[in-house]
Structure 1
Amino acid sequence: MSASVDDGDSSSGAEFEVFLNFRGPDTRLTFTDSLYHILVKAGIHVFRDNEEIRQGEKIGDKLLHAIKSSKIYVPIFSKNYASSRWCLRELTHVVDCQSKAKDKMILPIFFDVDPEDVKLETKLYLDALGEHEEQFGHEVPQWKEALIEVAKIRGLGLKNRGHGEIINAIVNKVMTKLMKRRRNLPDYLVGIHDQVEAIMGLLNEGSHDIRYLVIHGMGGIGKTTLASAIFNRISDQFDGYSFLSDVRESAQRGRIIDLQKQLLSEIFQGQSPEIHSIDAGIEIIKKRCWQKNVLLVLDDVDEKNQLSTLAGNSNCFGPKSKIIITTRDINFLPIKEKEFLPIKENEEESSFQAHSKEFEIYEMKEMDSSYALELFSQHALGMNFPPPHYEDISRKITNKTSGLPLALEIVGSSLFGKSRAIWKETLKKLDSVPKQEVFVRLKISYDMLEDAQKEIFLDIACYFIGHKRLLPYYMWKASGYFPKSGLLFLSRMSLIKIDEDDTLWMHDQLRDFGREIIRLEDKDPGKRSRLWMPDNALNVVQRKEASEKIVALRLTILSEVQNFTSEEFSKLPNLRFMELDGGNLTGDFKNLLSKLTWFSWSSCPSKLEAKNLCLEKLAVLELSTIGSGDWVGWEQCTVQHYSKRFTLFGICRSNQTYSFTFLDLSDHWFVIFR
């Protein structure tokens, strides 16, 4: 992206991000030259032409392609700008391209003129245009119209301001508009336009009042998609922006500090400062952001303290900031009948109670039946409307999904390419539970999975959302689950998604659905297959209530250091996934953990107290935050996999914090030392 085109060396096949429109003799060697090089240094693909490629009286292919392919246009209006017919021709094409594509932007720069000059309200540009009348009279009306149109756009003026200040402002706006962190939206967006416009009205665009907007609705109804669409639409209007996903999940895992760091890193487009406590994070956010107008999205919030630790109160951000919150439950908000409780005079303001007008609630409803049919048809048939012989059954299936976008997508995707008999069977299943929650409807797709695919789906729901696909891939392969075809099948059924950066993702409704499947396995947590909440897992293990049914557990973020004995793990003969945080393993582990394929241990001790620890089927090992000192006891720990035997003590021996990654692709054995 850092390549640039200058001085006529463009090619008709090149793609650009920024097009600079200026009169060479006025600014080429001064302002425009500085702006060009700083944009290029920022990694932006810039087109800056010169007079040599301007031939004849029409814009040639090179210039025309540069204009059409660019996303941002920067016309630099100087005193003699209107005397250049080429500047005016380029500007006319720029206005035409921008009017046809909503994703393009014009950012006018008033170098040594005022907007009134460009609006033709003074003689400066009018006189210059008059001189063009005789030779180019047929073009002049178009030039005038383009000038007036662009002058209506809020731009940046250089009068009484330093070039460096303006150039920094331009670069920030360009970087924001290019949206390096643009939210991915579903391929099919149906019926969302009206919702977006409703949100825009509630946000009160242009208002100087801070706004907390709450998008409220049940799981699977499209809250995150709507928030993402709004984020993509308006983020370039703010000094900084951040989208924090899955706040509830992160809070449960003790990752609020990580979210605070992400917020600061995204808003300031750089590395975040060190944050050692949640309270310190709140203070740092306030100190750094109180004058900055930001757009902040907090996705899936369910507790008030999550808001206070990430969005503080109305004093934390600039006066034009907007905070968008998505949630299933508004009971934790300090509101009554969609309004805040009033604050008594002289009463200390608590978070989110500063002004009643700060909060707006938008309650999402189920999709309109026509939109629901269109969305279902897109996923089930690949078209906007079902053909006549599928219309009746499509309408019946759509009616049974209660207008929930997620259910429509899941059921529709599961029927794509299937026979009519499968469609009828699906409708019959939906008919048998007409008033059940979406859980039952999602279970129809889950029941269509093979056993190995169910295992992969449940593992992702409990442990691997947000993880790179590669690591659990080796665990699943070692377990005989055929992950390549399994992940593809789950993805095509819309039960999971794999992002462009190869990260596993799952809708929160599907995540909760998968975890509910686990909860329904047995009333006794010790007899369920997976334990993902550390306190539950710790209770089961320490009380020796575990059973052979447990295949995965997480023992992390515990309140105090825990040591685990061989006797406790003797109750877990089928364990294949385990995460530990600190502590140690003690006792004789002979013939224990023989099926473990994934072992993650943060704050791993340098002195291993376990004896005879032999991990025969280990595929993934992650040891992090290893303390200094000799590695005592690790020489007794061995890994035997695919007829190879490794001694961990021989792989890594260190007297200091060690960082190392070992990957043996031939044996599909992954070790990470951080």
Structure 2
Amino acid sequence: MKRKRNSSPDPAGGDDGELPGVKFEVFLSFRGWDTRLSFTDCLYHAMVGAGVRVFRDEEEICKGEEIGGELLRAIDNSKVYVIVFSRDYASSDWCLRELEHIVKRYRGSSGKVILPIFYNVGAHDVKLQTGLYDEALKKHEGRRGCDVVRPWKEALIEVARMDGWDLKDKGEGAVIKHIVDEVLTRLKKRQRNLPDHLVGIHDQLEDMKSLLQEGSPDVRFIVIHGMGGIGKTTLAEAVFNQISHQFSGHSFLPNVRESSQDDKIKELQWRLLSDILKFQPARIYDTNDGVNMIKERFRHKKVLIVLDNVDDRNQLMKLAGKHNWFGPGSRIIITTRDIQFLSINNGRPRDSDCIQHEEFYIYKMKEMPFHHALELFSEHAFRRDTPPTDYANIATKIVKTMGGLPLALKVIGSSLCYKNEAVSEDMKMPHREVHDILMMSYEMLEDEQKQIFLDIACHMAGEKIEDAVLMWKSCEFFPNLTIDVLINMSLIRVECHEELWMHDQLRDFGREIVCRESQFPGECSRLWCPKSAMEVIRRKRGTEAIVALKLDGHSKSHNFTPVEFSKLEYLRFLELDGGNFVGDFLGLFYELRWLSWHHCPSEFRATNFCPSKLVVLKISKSDLTNDWDGWSQIMGTSKLKVLSLVSCKSLIKMPDLSMCSTLERLVIKDCKRLVEIDPSISNQEQLKYLEISGCNRLENLSKEASTDVSPCVVPQFLPDLMGR
């Protein structure tokens, strides 16, 4: 949710801001006789030396019964109250009136913090569970009455229940150091600056808490990963602000990926040591020297380290290589677009120094849900939580177009706040800044991986992953590895039905890359817009650059001729809606791997239509029959591995598959008139997946909607399916 002012501190570390003219940040309350010249004096100068503006209450100088003037303003406006409970603290009615006022301000304002210190007393004394403070309060009651003393008692008990420091059997110097560090954290002098509008951050913080397991003594590496612009760094900053005060040292190293060279890594090592140790370390001569210093100095320290935007294993190994570099309870948070560098290679570590993938706790960033996305967009576009009534529809449309990518919503919302005329343009493609961020992820891919990414962006989103993998394998790509890379980099996702999924923002980004290949559509590698694709075909402007072509919607009555495809030598993906092939196609479609044909006509008018490398054939919503002329031409010479027949209303008998011995996946769905499975199916020794559903007239069909089969099982159940 968006950060709002309320009665409790914001978990993301929100800052209420300082009022104009505020002089002090910390109010230091103590009993002068007990600690002024000893502990409190050392603490005061330590905080001042750290750059903190401290009001030290010289309570014996103040006269009168009421708190007012500069003292009142100091209490009201301070963010942190440091209270030193000593043996005589409760004997001073002035200290107790001061404490009462502090607690009132703490209760009534967000962002204020009370830090109790128990100096030669225990929390149980302050809670009035012993005679030390209780006797002092009874004396006050005798002089001032129960009504005056009652809020003092309540304030003492409330503050004593808060986390603080007990100096019993502890060195004052070490405790003072911890207190100063806590004060700096609470004042956000060492915290990260967060965006003004943290919509939805609380849900993510709750998820992170379960991974962080605060209080657990083990050393944990937590990885936040997701695509660029999804909010990884913001979440890491919010977590850092929320929990950094629990550690003896903490450091946030931004944009580590820019430091791949040893010299830059040395700078990061030096900064890491400086942040944790709170002083400038000796010179680091090389990265190995830095590693040794980190291991030696941090081994017994409970530290919090954030390595933001890591993309290389070497970066991690030089900064936070192993668990035993750090003391119990340490947490190392890593943000990355790609978790592949953490993975095990073929089940084995790449080398002995590699941290095992199983040793990481991984948090995958998800796109924002619509209601949060609309709120974030509205904050930047309209400076309010919800869009104005007049803009509700257009805001909803834009948010749906942009998806749940926080950076896109912020950038586009901000631009629309000042440029209303940019609405239509921004709805078509990512904003320039968003494009640049996505381009960084794209450029990390190898050439083959880029090709598969663009295939998915332009054509393959929504297709079964197994079908797509078979096509890419036939192109001599390495799709399984690439799919893993794309998933790890959060560029794609595989949905529950084993379908490829890509965020709309990434889809538009990928298509923009293709559009930039040439100002002439016929010279671009992929054409997905049916109108422009048909224009290229009709005008015979296609070139060998085209590898994928979608002609849906504008090809229903068109007769495709050989000359229209004569220059498309490397076409490997073709999707049609209606139309027909007419003429002699000898020597064409040599590289075609995927043919998807909706509304395929019952008469096939082409000759020598022999796509010998065809792997996937999908025909849907068509009138063809089992004796369709296209079967023998298409399947007779191909290496078909996938055959999908969906909603073929005239199909009574499945086509003869005897000429197609390479089939691995067969899908027959919603063919209402189908009554017979051709016996040739029992000879398909490579068949791994069979799905038959919605074919109500098929005799003795199993009630199972789909069946996974292996070659050895096929002959056993197919006779029943064929009604034998």
1:624 match:
none
Partners in 2 of 1:284 and 1:99 — Cα distance? 45
Query: Could you say what secondary structure the match of 2:305 adopts?
Result: strand
AA in 2 matched with 1:284: M
Residue 321 of structure 1, aligned match among 330, 350, 375:
330
1:442 equivalent to 2:451? Answer: no
1:283 match:
292
1:403 match:
404
More off after superposition, 39-48 vs 118-127 = 39-48
Partners in 2 of 1:371 and 1:130 — Cα distance? 54
1:35 match:
43
- The 1:32–1:212 alpha-carbon spacing in structure 2 relative to 1, beyond 3 Å, is same
- The 1:56–1:264 alpha-carbon spacing in structure 2 relative to 1, beyond 3 Å, is same
AA in 1 matched with 2:355: F
1:198 equivalent to 2:207? Answer: yes
Q: Is the 8 A contact 1:54 1:60 kept in 2?
A: no
**Which residues in structure 2 correspond to 1:104-253 (within 5 Å)?**
104-134=112-142, 135-251=144-260
User: 1:115: Cα distance to partner?
Assistant: 1.6
Q: Is the 8 A contact 2:218 2:328 kept in 1?
A: yes
AA in 2 matched with 1:426: E
2:425 match:
426
Query: Could you say what secondary structure the match of 2:204 adopts?
Result: helix
Partners in 2 of 1:210 and 1:153 — Cα distance? 27
User: 1:324: Cα distance to partner?
Assistant: 0.7
AA in 1 matched with 2:304: L
2:657 match:
none
Unmatched tracts of structure 1, length 5 or more: 1-11, 431-439, 447-453, 463-508, 523-674
TM-score by length of 2: 0.55
Q: Is the 8 A contact 1:414 1:445 kept in 2?
A: no
Partners in 1 of 2:434 and 2:416 — Cα distance? 9
1:651 match:
none
Partners in 2 of 1:271 and 1:69 — Cα distance? 34
Partners in 1 of 2:238 and 2:271 — Cα distance? 20
1:18 equivalent to 2:19? Answer: no
Partners in 2 of 1:331 and 1:359 — Cα distance? 12
- The 1:257–1:72 alpha-carbon spacing in structure 2 relative to 1, beyond 3 Å, is same
Q: Is the 8 A contact 1:376 1:409 kept in 2?
A: yes
Q: Is the 8 A contact 2:185 2:191 kept in 1?
A: no
TM-score by length of 1: 0.59
AA in 2 matched with 1:266: D
User: 1:13: Cα distance to partner?
Assistant: 4.9
1:77 match:
85
Residues 23-44 of structure 1 show CA distances to partners (whole Å, capped at 9, x for unaligned) of 1122222222232233323332
Q: Is the 8 A contact 2:24 2:54 kept in 1?
A: yes
Q: Is the 8 A contact 2:86 2:121 kept in 1?
A: yes
Partners in 2 of 1:123 and 1:342 — Cα distance? 65
Partners in 1 of 2:271 and 2:342 — Cα distance? 24
State the aligned residue count: 430
User: 1:405: Cα distance to partner?
Assistant: 0.5
Residues 369-415 of structure 1 show CA distances to partners (whole Å, capped at 9, x for unaligned) of 11111111121122211111110011001000111011111211221
Partners in 1 of 2:310 and 2:192 — Cα distance? 18
Residues 49-99 of structure 1 show CA distances to partners (whole Å, capped at 9, x for unaligned) of 223564443321322221222222221111111111221222223233334
User: 1:309: Cα distance to partner?
Assistant: 1.1
1:98 match:
106
Q: Is the 8 A contact 2:32 2:60 kept in 1?
A: no
Q: Is the 8 A contact 1:257 1:277 kept in 2?
A: yes
Q: Is the 8 A contact 2:253 2:268 kept in 1?
A: yes
Q: Is the 8 A contact 2:306 2:332 kept in 1?
A: yes
Query: Could you say what secondary structure the match of 1:296 adopts?
Result: strand
- The 1:170–1:518 alpha-carbon spacing in structure 2 relative to 1, beyond 3 Å, is farther
Residues 128-156 of structure 1 show CA distances to partners (whole Å, capped at 9, x for unaligned) of 11111131421322222221222222322
Query: Could you say what secondary structure the match of 2:147 adopts?
Result: coil
- The 1:36–1:374 alpha-carbon spacing in structure 2 relative to 1, beyond 3 Å, is same
User: 1:342: Cα distance to partner?
Assistant: 10
Q: Is the 8 A contact 1:373 1:385 kept in 2?
A: yes
Cα RMSD of the aligned pairs, angstroms, is 3.4
AA in 2 matched with 1:389: D
Query: Could you say what secondary structure the match of 1:292 adopts?
Result: coil
Residues 83-122 of structure 1 show CA distances to partners (whole Å, capped at 9, x for unaligned) of 1122122222323333445533322221111121112211
- The 1:268–1:370 alpha-carbon spacing in structure 2 relative to 1, beyond 3 Å, is same
2:355 match:
352
Partners in 2 of 1:380 and 1:176 — Cα distance? 33
Partners in 2 of 1:351 and 1:150 — Cα distance? 47
Partners in 2 of 1:50 and 1:264 — Cα distance? 38
Q: Is the 8 A contact 2:342 2:356 kept in 1?
A: no
Between Structure 1 and Structure 2, whose CA radius of gyration is higher? 2
Query: Could you say what secondary structure the match of 1:272 adopts?
Result: coil
AA in 1 matched with 2:411: I
Partners in 2 of 1:444 and 1:311 — Cα distance? 31
More off after superposition, 137-146 vs 216-225 = 137-146
Partners in 1 of 2:171 and 2:65 — Cα distance? 36
User: 1:243: Cα distance to partner?
Assistant: 0.8
User: 1:521: Cα distance to partner?
Assistant: 7.6
